[in-house]
Every structure is written in C-alpha cells, then in structure tokens.
Chain A
Amino acid sequence: MSKPAFEVPPVLAPRLNRGSGSSQGLVEAHEEWIQDEDLGTSLKRRFGEWLKDLSESEVLFKKHVYDNEDLKASDMRQHRIRICTLIAEGEKLALDLLILANETNSESLVKTFVESIDETIKKLLNEFVAWHGKLDDQPDIPESFKKAAQESESGKLEDLDI
C-alpha cells in the first residue's frame, strides 16, 4: 500500500473511519495547498489585507449608506456586517501581534501597529453607534430633534399653524 498523503490525527480517526471498516485511520488524499509562511509574515499579510478591506469598505459605505438616497434595511444590515467583521479581524490581528511580541520579546516593534489598530477599531465602533445606535445616545444630534422625535412618535401632534 502506498503512503497516504497525511495521517489523520488519532482523535479524528474514529469519526472519519466510521463505517469504512478500515483500521488504518486514512482518508482519501485531497491536499490543500498551503503556503509555507511564518507567523510574522502571516501577520504582515493579514494587516495589509485588513487595511485594504477598510479602504474598500469606506468606498462602499459612502456609496451604499452615507450618500444613498434610497437607503434600505439591507444596506443597513450590510453596513453592520462589514463594520463588525472589520472590528473582529482587527481585534484578532492585535491579539496575535501581542502574542507574537510576547513570545519574541518584541513588544516595542508591534506597539505602533497595535495602537493604530486600536485607533481604527475605536472609529469603527463610533461609526456603528452613529448609524445603528439609539437616537438619545448621539452626542452630536440636537436635543430639540430628540424631543421632537419623541413627540412625533408618541403621536402628540398639533395642527401646523404658521
């Protein structure tokens, strides 16, 4: 018998071989091409991809949300999805950078990257609240508008008399 492409870890073998009658712990060889990449290179690549996603998202946000005259619920949902995805990836990136720094005693090297990621995440969170938060939580919206919105929504209306 030829050598398998890889051996299934023992913990998975019983499940994969269920019903096969095989006791070898083998699966058919469909190999995924994985680029050999060290952690530092991988983090640099992910950071670059994250910046690219941020920049692409800004263009999409402007077109489909900020300047969209026909804003729909699905536009708002996609805005939320993209912001949350960017925040999650940024947080994961920052965490992995800090772990790498801890393992290699290179905190000073990653400090600037992590600070820049944190700053961007803060902006994304603010953007999320500004478009999807509660009206009363918006510091830049006049109190008169908040009051008027409450009155309007509770149906406390009078005839327009000007």
Chain B
Amino acid sequence: MAKYEFKRTAQFKKSFDALNPAQQEATKAAFKKFKLNPFDPSLRPHKINRLSALRRRVVRSITIEGDLRAVFTIDGNKIISEDIGTHDIYK
C-alpha cells in the first residue's frame, strides 16, 4: 500500500472537540483503522458527489458510528481529514 501522510484541518479538531466523549472514543477507534487503510471496507468509505462537484475535487466520507461521519480528501500522498459530524450531506 502507498505510504500516506495523514493531515487534518484546524476545523477537524474543533469539530472533534465538540463531539461527546463516546463519539470521541468511537472516532479514535475508527481512526486507528483509518490510519492503517483509509479505504478499509468496514469504514464504508464513499465519495460524496455533490461536495466533490462543488469542490472540483473528490471528497470522501467514512462512517465512524451511526450517523457520525468524517470527511476527507486526498492530495498526492496526503490524506486530509477535513471535518467530522452528523450532517446529512456527509452521508
């Protein structure tokens, strides 16, 4: 597998900090898998077409638990975690 560099935005940290403790724990567990393989099928990675169209770049989402999703983009070998939340548009 290609070697990835995992990055995040400042907003990602803000959104993470706003989650409740249980959601934060679930996110940490999911991101252990994510750092090994961002396309791990158990994370149900998928493209979000409308956000990708508006950004003119592919925006993907993984499922942390229930309605909680993290969105990320790829720039070269950088995997950029951009935001996390339960917004409908991230489904």
A residues apposed to B, CB below 8 Å: 65-69, 71, 76, 130-135, 138, 140-142, 144-145, 147-149, 151-152, 156-162
Contact = CB atoms under 8 A, between A and B. Distances in A.
A42 to B, nearest CB: 37
A151 B53 contact: no
A151 B10 contact: yes
B53 A160 contact: no
A141 B10 contact: no
Contacts of B35: 160
A141 B53 contact: no
Interface residues of B, number: 36
A160 B8 contact: yes
B11 A148 contact: yes
B73 A152 contact: yes
A162 B80 contact: no
A4 to B, nearest CB: 55
Contacts of B80: 152, 157
B9 A156 contact: yes
Nearest to A138: B54
16 contacts: A67-B49, A131-B53, A142-B83, A142-B87, A142-B89, A148-B9, A148-B12, A151-B82, A157-B8, A157-B80, A159-B6, A160-B6, A160-B35, A160-B81, A162-B8, A162-B28
Contact of B11 (A133, A134, A144): A144
Contacts of B81: 160
A135 B9 contact: no
B37 interface: no
Interface string B1-40: 0000011111111111000000000011001000100000
B53 A71 contact: yes
